[in-house]
Structure 1
Amino acid sequence: MNTSEPSSDAGQITVTHTRGGRVATVLIDRPRKLNALTLELLDALYCELRTIDHSDAQIVLITTAGEKSFCVGADIAQFSRFSPAQMWRRWIREGHRVFNYLAQLRQPTIAVVDGIAVGGGFELALACDLRIGASTARLGLPETGLGTTPGWGGTERLTQIVGAARAKEIIFARRQVPSDTALDWGLLNAVSERSMLADTVTELIDRILEGAPTAVQVSKQLVDAAAAGAPSTVLEALGSGFTTGTDDFTAGVAAFSNKTTPTFTGS
């Protein structure tokens, strides 16, 4: 899914829409710096995510440019110049603002991890609902080797997926988790050879798009609420009550009764 076309060191964020506008692909394009994230790139990503949030897109892909790295995280040359107060006031808060917005998008989000994803790059992938990795993927949080800590949600989201003991091992020992182990631990949902990565992503996209868009998005909210400790008794009743009032539910029931394939419109 990555492209080897170089761009300026400053980098840029671009978005393309495919499948009738139903899939929005976000490209972080800074391969010369291994897609390291600056405050400017974070702000550009936030603006693009806000636009996608209000679009007709049903799925959001997060991809990066180049063949070496998905994203090596925060641009050390930039944040190392910040004072402790600036780190507190701006750098950490900005990463949380953007990654939290990504995590809370109503659409399902998929990170396409081709190559190394460490530090903030790993945290970017963790903020997505699903992660598809190339066999070359390596995931880690190496911040203790710089004398600091993960800062953009990694301690929380990593722990939710792999548990406290494995999260501590990854962080304390700066372990880079290879793709096969990441798949076994639930950090990746699927792994394929780089040459087949696009096909693996497309297969998952097609399966998601077969479902009713509103039902998929409400289900995402229910799962996220459950992960935060909210009880399902009331929320699932509300979710079911809402979705069974949609045109898509009527179409789905009719198709089931007639043994046909439903056509969902998101209404």
Structure 2
Amino acid sequence: MSTVHLDIHGRLAEIRLDNPAKLNAFTVAMLQELAGHLDTVECRTDITCLMVTAEGERAFCAGADINAWGDLSPAEFARHWVRDGHRIFDRLARFSKPVIGVISGHAFGGGLELAAACDIRVMAPKATLALPEAHVGIVPGWSGTQRLARLLPEAVIKEMALFGRRIGAERALQLGFVAEIADDPRQAAVEIAAKVAELSPRAVEVAKFMIHAGCGEDRAAMIEALGSAAIAASADRNEGVAAFRDKRKPVFSGE
């Protein structure tokens, strides 16, 4: 049975974690389903925004299911579990469309890292954020000490990762980690997404790439994406493709 669903609401896509009995903690299957849904939405030109939501009010995501990684060898844990999760979360962070994380309940460990991979976040008043990995003898592995360090002050991350403290919604708002606190965070996210639908999709995409290039989110790839997009609109590019297909020497105009 699928535990990560993809729902399409007009121009809005919603990826929904659906394993509330286990606080939406990630398994291998859930990571794979998340990756597949991201590929599907990325190819949909009619979609202008993505929401990441979760079933249940207790937890947005409690991190990684210990039963999914507890028996792995050190090599398997590092080579597959950590790297695969990191790769998929990177995929979300570098998604071409705007992504809204809907933190309806507690976001711990991998759940906080999932939220950090979204562009903005809306949070329920009683939800909390935490990096509790040290309680089970591990460290954050899906960008909790890296991407999160660009979004929160160093002292705050240390507070969570080294001292086991939780961060509430009001403090998360003051720190700029969440854009809004709402009793119904999903509905608030839907309203934000509706505004995105009124904007130029291409302008939004390019602006996101530019911001990522500036803040260091896969800067090299973002710069090449921007340059490739610019050159793809040139007359020289069209001439080069035509000459290749006609098996002749291209005559470039510099346009």
Structure 1 partner of 2:100: 110
The alignment partner of 2:121 has SS state of: strand
Structure 2 partner of 1:164: 154
Provide the rounded CA distance (Å) in 2 between the counterparts of 1:228 and 1:179: 26
Matched, 1:30 2:23: no
Instruction: Give the conservation status (yes or no) of the 8 Å contact 2:48–2:97.
Output: yes
Matches within 5 A, 1:117-132: 117-132=107-122
The alignment partner of 2:72 has SS state of: coil
Higher Rg of the two aligned structures: 2
Matched, 1:17 2:8: yes
The alignment partner of 1:81 has SS state of: coil
- Residue 170 (structure 1) shift: 1.7
* Identical columns (%): 34
- Residue 137 (structure 1) shift: 1.4
Matched, 1:47 2:30: no
- Structure 1: state its 5+ residue gaps: 1-9, 246-267
Provide the rounded CA distance (Å) in 2 between the counterparts of 1:53 and 1:241: 20
Structure 2 partner of 1:142: 132
- Structure 2: state its 5+ residue gaps: 235-255
- Residue 163 (structure 1) shift: 2.3
- Residue 168 (structure 1) shift: 1.4
Structure 1 partner of 2:238: none
Instruction: Give the conservation status (yes or no) of the 8 Å contact 1:218–1:239.
Output: no
Structure 2 partner of 1:95: 85
Larger CA deviation: 27-36 vs 199-208: 199-208
Q: Which amino acid aligns with 2:124?
A: A
- Residue 149 (structure 1) shift: 0.5
Instruction: Give the conservation status (yes or no) of the 8 Å contact 2:56–2:105.
Output: no
Aligned length: 230
Structure 2 partner of 1:3: none
Provide the rounded CA distance (Å) in 2 between the counterparts of 1:166 and 1:34: 24
The alignment partner of 1:110 has SS state of: strand
Matches within 5 A, 1:151-190: 151-190=141-180
Provide the rounded CA distance (Å) in 1 between the counterparts of 2:230 and 2:95: 22
Q: TM-score, normalised by structure 2?
A: 0.83
1:8-44 Cα distance to aligned partner (Å, 9 max, x none): xx6511111112xx11101111111110100111011
- Residue 157 (structure 1) shift: 1.5
Structure 2 partner of 1:202: 190
CA, structure 1 residues 211+123, in 2 after alignment: closer, same or farther (shift >3 Å)?
A: same
Instruction: Give the conservation status (yes or no) of the 8 Å contact 2:97–2:205.
Output: yes
Provide the rounded CA distance (Å) in 2 between the counterparts of 1:48 and 1:210: 24
The alignment partner of 2:25 has SS state of: coil
Provide the rounded CA distance (Å) in 2 between the counterparts of 1:88 and 1:68: 29
Q: Which amino acid aligns with 2:31?
A: L
Alignment root-mean-square deviation, CA: 2.5
1:83-132 Cα distance to aligned partner (Å, 9 max, x none): 11111111101111110111111001111000100010111010111111
4+ runs deviating over 3 angstroms = 237-242
Provide the rounded CA distance (Å) in 2 between the counterparts of 1:49 and 1:11: 15
Provide the rounded CA distance (Å) in 2 between the counterparts of 1:240 and 1:38: 37
Instruction: Give the conservation status (yes or no) of the 8 Å contact 1:11–1:30.
Output: no
Provide the rounded CA distance (Å) in 1 between the counterparts of 2:42 and 2:24: 23
Provide the rounded CA distance (Å) in 2 between the counterparts of 1:131 and 1:88: 29
1:174-211 Cα distance to aligned partner (Å, 9 max, x none): 211100001111111110123xx343212211222221
